[in-house]
């Protein structure tokens, strides 16, 4: 994991008179799974808007694979909170969409995607439409659509936030297995402390707006994270430390706007 995929240095962003990011610095190395955790409205999604080129920073520097970037970057693949599947396209045609947009023929795109359907639990459902699938299956389709682009870094914006608790837990376990198998480089936004600890190698905890990095947590739990008694005890201790960091700063600073 020596290669640096992403580096943010002293990133600042205002929207009008409202300061949203106040000197955020973080990095993601090749093969790492890193999470950004913080209170609602802290600016987590704003960071992704800067990375995808939807917004521009007012200060600081962003580099991907060692090269400075300031706009849309083709080394990043973004998965939004909602699955964003087009209801009139089949699952197969949804998954191949971005490959076709990038110039690949439909035949070539389908040939690339089809061998992966079974691994993502979608074999036999490729001709179904999104409305015919469960929430978890739609999210797996959305993730396949993201990873098949073969970009250097996956940006995952609360991908399981809209799912019920049982499905969410199942998807977290599935993603952990898939990440270990493929060693994607991933940056996850989440409000869920347990999710961040379960999935991550490292966690950046942000303050309330204007966001700063309060603490960087290393997650030394062995993989696979299979829910053993010892693993659960160690994870619970880390979760408590993360929550304490958030709550102490929240109480010290008062309620955020």
| Cα separation of the two ends of the chain | 38
Domain assignment of residue 222, yes or no: yes
Query: What value does the mean pLDDT of the chain take?
Result: 88
Q: In CATH, what number is assigned to the domain containing residue 226? A: 3.40.50.300
pLDDT, residue 39, reads: 86
Domain assignment of residue 162, yes or no: no
Domain assignment of residue 165, yes or no: no
Domain assignment of residue 104, yes or no: no
Q: How far, CA to CA in Å, does 131 sit from each of 29, 58, 124, 157, 170?
A: 37, 41, 15, 22, 20
Domain assignment of residue 139, yes or no: no
184-236: pLDDT as tens digits = 999 999 989 999 999 999 999 999 889 999 999 999 998 888 767 677 888 99
128-144: pLDDT as tens digits = 999 999 999 999 999 99
Nearest to 126 by CA among 150, 148, 93: 93
pLDDT, residue 252, reads: 47
Tokens 């209170």 correspond to 39
12-30: pLDDT as tens digits = 999 999 999 999 999 999 9
Question: What domain range includes position 35?
Answer: 1-75+187-257
Kindly report which listed range (20-29, 92-101, 151-160, 245-254) carries the lowest average pLDDT score.
Answer: 245-254
The pTM for the full model equals 0.89
Torsions phi, psi for 254 (to 5 deg):
80, 175
């Amino acid at each position: 994991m020596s290669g640096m995929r992403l580096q943010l240095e002293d990133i600042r962003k205002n929207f009008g008179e409202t300061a949203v990011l106040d000197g955020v610095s973080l990095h993601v190395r090749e093969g790492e799974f890193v999470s950004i955790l913080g209170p609602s409205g802290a600016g987590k999604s704003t960071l992704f808007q800067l990375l995808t080129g939807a917004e521009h920073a007012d200060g600081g520097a962003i580099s991907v694979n060692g090269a400075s970037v300031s706009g849309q970057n083709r080394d990043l693949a973004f998965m939004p909170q909602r699955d964003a599947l087009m209801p009139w396209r089949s699952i197969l045609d949804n998954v191949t969409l971005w490959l076709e947009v990038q110039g690949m023929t439909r035949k070539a795109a389908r040939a690339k995607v089809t061998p992966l359907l079974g691994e993502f639990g979608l074999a036999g459902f490729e001709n179904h439409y999104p409305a015919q699938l469960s929430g978890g299956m739609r999210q797996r389709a959305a993730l396949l659509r993201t990873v098949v682009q073969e970009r250097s870094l996956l940006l995952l914006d609360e991908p399981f936030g809209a799912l019920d608790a049982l499905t969410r837990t199942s998807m977290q376990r599935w993603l952990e297995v898939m990440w270990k198998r493929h060693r994607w480089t991933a940056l996850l936004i989440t409000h869920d402390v347990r999710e961040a600890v379960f999935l991550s190698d490292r966690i950046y905890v942000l303050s309330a707006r204007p966001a700063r990095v309060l603490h960087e947590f290393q997650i030394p739990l062995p993989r696979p994270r299979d829910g053993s008694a010892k693993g659960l005890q160690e994870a619970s201790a880390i979760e408590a430390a993360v929550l304490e960091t958030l709550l102490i700063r929240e109480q010290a600073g008062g309620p955020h706007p």
